Structure 1
Amino acid sequence: TDRISLVATPEQADKACNALAAASAWGFDTESKPTFVQGEQSDGPHIVQLATLETAWVFQLHDPGCRARVAELLALRGVTKAGFGLGDDTKRIQHKLGVQPADVLELNTVFRQRGYRKDMGVKGAVAVLFNKRFIKSKKAATSNWANARLTEAQLVYAANDAWAALRVFNALEVSAAR
């Protein structure tokens, strides 16, 4: 977990921004507190994950200053933000952060363009490209991402999703000029 950085304050977000600035692509994902009541609307995302190959940053969105930095990062042009199942994520980000994420690459679309029939998702992509099983904890997936204190299991789960997306992006050698 020393390669996972939890970001909850504007100062931490500034550090993350500086570190992320050097990369041309990030692994990207979000997590929202699950809703269990019919008709209940999620006010997520509650966290945004951005990863380089070295580090994954897990941004909590409680602090307005931290939210503002995340919005700037997501709106930044010229950096590919690669991930899986991002349609819902980008809609929620627009609603919560008031920005349209720029240069988002839906990796499921890349797989479809290459002849795969169904949505790969991160598990399928890792299996196909690296011949490995990507284990995702159901308990972490359905945990409360709105908590002020995230558990180590939550941090690892969140970071791994973003890292895996970036590794898949790199393995696919998607050209930046789409």
Structure 2
Amino acid sequence: MSPPPLPEREDIALLEPFEGLGLKDIRVVASAEDAASAAAALRASRVVGFDTESKPTFAKNEVSGGPHVIQFATREQAWLFQLHRSEFHDTLATLLGDPGLTKAGFGLSSDLSLIRQRFGVEPQGVLDLDSEFRRRGYRRSVGVKTAVALVFERRFVKSRKATTSNWANRQLTDAQLRYAANDAYAAIRVFDALGLRA
């Protein structure tokens, strides 16, 4: 039996917006102590939404120095790790390499290779939700926007301006915080909606 058809862009545009996390539920990790308490909350959750952001490259042979931000979300809140801060890189590397923490996200292959380059750590416990949709019979790649429309009948709003913004900035804007947090948050919500287990 073939799966329900994927919604087209025009159909998605007509849907009500997906309710994401607000700024009060988004933590920017600012110290080793913040990182330790974030790690404890994430491990307690056992499965988290996961994504990274990198400063975009526009020149032909320019190499990305990313990721610049790594974000994790539970069902209640999100934590953003800005990688210009080196004081919590060890905590972050341990989280990324922890096979007991399921990290669910969309289209993660380039994120994972950048993490390997930057940290020299092999990410464990990673679940690319795109491959879960393939397993269920979808031939086309299913990204976060399509997945949210399919499982929640909601429109996931992604600002082009935030996508191509400078993620290496020391001070992220409110729009960047919401964008990064909700990429990870949408992933954990889709994971739950698909009935997946950690």
1:34-49 to 2 correspondences below 5 Å: 34-49=56-71
1:90-109 to 2 correspondences below 5 Å: 90-109=112-131
- The Cα of 1:62 is off from its aligned counterpart by 1.1
Q: Distance in 1 between matches of 2:31 and 2:121?
A: 20
Q: Distance in 1 between matches of 2:59 and 2:105?
A: 28
1:165-176 to 2 correspondences below 5 Å: 165-176=187-198
Q: Are 1:142 and 2:174 matched, yes or no? A: no
Q: Distance in 1 between matches of 2:96 and 2:168?
A: 20
Asked if the contact 2:54–2:67 (Cα under 8 Å) also holds between the matched residues in 1, the reply is: yes
Q: Are 1:31 and 2:53 matched, yes or no? A: yes
Q: Which moved more, 1:8-17 or 1:129-138?
A: 8-17
1:23-172 to 2 correspondences below 5 Å: 23-172=45-194
Tell me the residue number matched to 1:4: 26
- The Cα of 1:8 is off from its aligned counterpart by 3.0
Q: Which moved more, 1:148-157 or 1:58-67?
A: 58-67
Asked if the contact 1:8–1:61 (Cα under 8 Å) also holds between the matched residues in 2, the reply is: no
Structure 1 segments of 4 or more deviating over 3 A? none
- The Cα of 1:175 is off from its aligned counterpart by 3.4
> Once superposed, what is the RMSD of the aligned Cα atoms?
0.9
SS at match of 1:65: coil
Question: Could you report, residue by residue, the CA deviation over 1:151-177 in whole angstroms, capped at 9, with x for unpaired residues?
Answer: 00000000000000000011111233x
Asked if the contact 1:68–1:97 (Cα under 8 Å) also holds between the matched residues in 2, the reply is: no
**What TM-score comes out, normalization by structure 2 length?**
0.87
Q: How many residues align?
A: 176
Which structure 2 segments of 5+ residues have no match?
1-22
Rg: which structure is higher?
2
Identity %: 55
- The Cα of 1:77 is off from its aligned counterpart by 1.6
Q: Distance in 1 between matches of 2:48 and 2:60?
A: 34
Asked if the contact 1:32–1:44 (Cα under 8 Å) also holds between the matched residues in 2, the reply is: yes
- Counterpart of 1:18, as a letter, is A
Q: Distance in 2 between matches of 1:39 and 1:24?
A: 39
